[in-house]
Amino acid sequence: MTPRDTALATMAAVLWGFNIIAGKVGVAAAPPLFFTALRFLIVAALIVPFCPVDRKHWRSLFILSVCFGTGHFGLLFVGLAGVDAASAAIALQLGVPFSIIISWLVFRESFGWRRSLALLLTFIGVAFLAGEPGNASSVPFFLLVICTVFWAWSNILVKRMPDIRPLAITGWLSLFAAPQVMALSFALETGQGDAIANAGWPLIGALAYTAIAASIIAHATWYGLVQKYPVNAVVPFNMLIPIVGVGAGLLLLSEPLTWQKALGGGLTLAGVAIIQWRIAKTTISRSKADAL
């Protein structure tokens, strides 16, 4: 990768890492599901008018909005309300091992003993994080784990989708997800009116960051790099996301670094790193075989 593109990949990962902090600020200023719905409305308003899609694709986009929009992001921000940022940044890495498991179930893709060991490491690490003293209840942490399952399943849906521009996918799934999450908010939460009436810079800034920086800018940059380079050249930058999220949580939110967080985070990230390394190695091997 050129120095410029390396910087762009780093930028996208850093933006996603700080998205955890923005989410924590946002759910402290507004009910989590309501905050999520507002985020979707902003993203849809900024993208949909400029990225039309054929009506025949609406069904696929709606299904993706239920899984990725409501399932992943809805549970993500609800979970963030009860889990510290550092633990959340690490727990979200479970999307990688869950992708491996779902690919095995759906596509019968095999994985060897190294990836099996890596899966075990990630789940042991997350078990330590679940017992972290800063997590007053296990329910929000469990919701974060479930949201990574929805993220992994969303990758399968995207893989099966017709050829639609990534930015258009982001905008239209946001358009379809916004009313779903808003309905859930008014059914399960209170205080939406107070959040709007008392909206200050924390809420406005969090919405702007999660919608524009993390969603539009980071995704557009990342998809552009994936289209330009082999996946194995870009994916390793994902490892910067939990590092930034953990560091920002410790420094900006003054979260304590407990032994559960250190040990659990180390095991989880080690497992994820092994999985991504094995995926990259397999991809390179298949490319060489195809070339021959």
Which residue's entry shows tokens 């670094």?
257
Q: Please say if the pLDDT value at position 151 is more than 80.
A: yes
Mean pLDDT of 151-170: 80
Predicted local distance difference test score (pLDDT) of residue 292: 47
Residue 180 pLDDT exceeds 80: yes
> HSE of 46 in the Cβ direction (CA atoms, 13 Å)?
15
Task: Please tell me the distance from the alpha carbon of residue 277 to that of residue 235, in angstroms, as a whole number.
Answer: 9
Closest to 177 (Cα-Cα) out of 188, 187, 189, 185:
185
The more confident residue out of 136 and 102 is: 102
Q: In one letter, which amino acid is 7?
A: A
In whole angstroms, what is the distance from residue 182 CA to residue 36 CA?
Answer: 8
Query: Tell me, what's the pLDDT at 102?
Result: 77
Exposed e or buried b for every residue in 212-221, given b needs 16+ CB within 10 A? bbbbbebbbb
Instruction: Find the range with the poorest average confidence among 24-38, 58-72, 114-128, 189-203.
Output: 114-128
Nearest to 290, CA basis, from 223, 233, 230 = 230
- Report phi then psi at 285, rounded to 5: -60, -40
Q: How many residues does the chain have?
A: 292
For residue 212, the SS3 value is: helix
**Is a pLDDT exceeding 90 seen at residue 94?**
no
pLDDT at 138: 78
Indicate if the pLDDT at residue 275 is higher than 80: no
Boundaries of every domain in the chain: 3-291
The pLDDT value given to residue 289: 46
pLDDT in the model for residue 231? 57
Distance (Å, whole) CA 48 – CA 28: 29
Q: What would the mean pLDDT of 177-188 be, rounded to a whole number?
A: 96
Q: pLDDT at position 279, please?
A: 64
The identity of residue 254, as a single letter, is S
Give the global pTM.
Answer: 0.83
CB 38 within 8 A of CB 207: yes
Per residue in 40-85, pLDDT (tens digit) is 999 999 999 999 998 988 999 999 999 999 999 999 999 998 888 8
Residue 162 has pLDDT above 90, yes or no: no
User: Cα(265)–Cα(90) distance, rounded to whole angstroms?
Assistant: 6
What pLDDT score does 134 carry? 61
Question: What tokens appear for 44 in the block?
Answer: 């849809």
CB of 231 within 8 A of CB of 186? no
What phi and psi values does residue 265 have, to the nearest 5 degrees? -65, -40
pLDDT at 135: 61
More confident residue, 174 or 236: 174
